Amino acid sequence: MGILPRFDVTAPKPKDGRADPAPDPAVVARQVVRELVLPEPVIRTNPDETHAQLVRVPTWMWLDRAMWKPVSKTAKVPGVSVTATAIPQRATWVMGDGSRVVCEGSGTPYSRKYAADSGSPDCGHTYVRSSAGQPEETYTVSVTVTWELEWHGGGQQGLIPGLQTQAQMPLRVAEAQALVVA
């Protein structure tokens, strides 16, 4: 997530003895966003990262579902309360082989109920070349989760698009070849 500057959420004091005005809710919202802690993505693949993927066999990708949920924070300052909620929108995967995959959700975890050669219904990739010759013989797979933030309070509301969290991992892709013998 980008770093947002700290904002003074106190309103200026009136000089005529009136009550202090409430701070601007949009300013309070920016402060809440700055303090909001978004979870780091946890990458999962099938086969898992301890086993090599195979060329031309579908790779399933998904994120830990515990992190794929809204995250909220509320700030209460004298005169106003503002709640900001970040909602994950999509996961953009960079596969290390020049491919990019955009998934609209966290992806479907692989289970044995699916055929071994079936592709993911919503978030997968099939490698056409092995990772041999790459640094450490692996592709670096990265994922960027894009969050949309909604805030409301003090009779106002707004959206802050484009917050992001990222993760990466090495993934070895091997090529298996059959040998026919008489």
DSSP, residue by residue, 71-101: EEEEEEETTEEEEEEEEEEEEEEE-SSS-EE
| Residue 167 within any structural domain of the chain | yes
Q: Which residues have C-beta within 8 Å of that of residue 101, sequence separation ≥ 6?
A: 61, 92, 93, 95, 123, 124, 125
| Residue 14 within any structural domain of the chain | no
* Cis preceding linkage at 39, omega within 30: no
Task: Report pLDDT for 5.
Answer: 40
Range of the domain at 59: 25-174
| Residue 179 within any structural domain of the chain | no
Q: How many domains does the chain have?
A: 1
Q: What is the mean pLDDT of each run of 10 residues along the chain (182 residues)?
A: 42 55 87 92 85 91 94 93 96 98 95 88 96 96 97 93 93 86 76
Task: Report pLDDT for 47.
Answer: 74
Task: Report pLDDT for 18.
Answer: 62
Task: Report pLDDT for 100.
Answer: 98
Task: Report pLDDT for 52.
Answer: 87
| Residue 48 within any structural domain of the chain | yes
- Yes or no: say if 85 and 38 are a contact pair by the CB < 8 Å rule: no
| Residue 182 within any structural domain of the chain | no
| Residue 19 within any structural domain of the chain | no
Task: Report pLDDT for 2.
Answer: 44
Task: Report pLDDT for 17.
Answer: 56
| Residue 87 within any structural domain of the chain | yes
